[in-house]
Amino acid sequence: MRDQTASGRFDDAERMGRFVTRFAARYTCPLDAWLGGRPVPRSWRVANGAAGRGDKVILQHLLLGINAHINLDLAVAAAEVCPGAEIVTLHDDFMRINAVLGSLMPRVRTCIGRFSPLLDVIDRVGGADDDEVLNFSINVARDEAWSAARSLASIDDDLRRAEFFDSLDRRVAVLGKVVANPGGLLQRAVDVVAATESDNVVKVIDALGRVTLPPP
């Protein structure tokens, strides 16, 4: 996101710099709280709680983080940076953020495949395409996040804002639980994939960290 901002991809580079900082903090602050034994949003509780379990596949861990970070964090960061009527001016750049994230997904899937030889079994059983796996869709998450951002930005009362955040967090956590425990045939497919995946977390993270955007 920093590189894309520097390249002039966004309408307002200064605003996008503030946005990216807020967005990143929505991840790092709950992570620090979780590691310190302090309360975190429910959706991050689901994602972080699954991180210590060996029965989840790499793709599930990534989607659980994406679920909390887009469906909850992206909406909150947008409303904080552009409160009130100002939120409408963020729309185009907001969609560009998601385009950047979405363009990484095929390369991330390819990277995961190096460590998960039977990953395609999940798609075949679930009947999903590259955008929708384990009942999670990047496009749906983007649209829901924008809707939530507009609602949050329009609330000028602290109590009502906190109530909306709590309600949103509950809904996102429910979706996270579905991703973590899909059930039925899809769960059996996940179990098969998990049994054949690499358990070298360091190598997986290093490989994912080298995934870059496709050329413009």
DSSP 167-205: HHHHHHHHHHHHHH---HHHHHHHHHHHHHS---HHHHH
Dihedral sign computed on CA atoms, order 165, 168, 145, 89: negative
Q: How many domains does the chain have?
A: 1
Query: What pLDDT is stored for residue 52 in this prediction?
Result: 78
Residue 50 lies in a domain: yes
Is 216 contained in some domain? no
For 158-202, what is each residue's pLDDT tens digit?
Answer: 999 999 999 999 999 999 999 999 888 888 988 999 999 998 999
178 within 8 A of 67, measured Cβ to Cβ: no
Q: What is the reported pTM?
A: 0.87
Per the structure, the complete domain to which residue 200 belongs is given by 2-209
Please give the span between the terminal C-alpha atoms of the chain, in angstroms, as a whole number.
14
Residue 88 falls inside a structural domain: yes
Neighbours of 147 (CB within 10 A): 11
Give which of 57, 209, 198 is closest to 133, Cα–Cα: 57
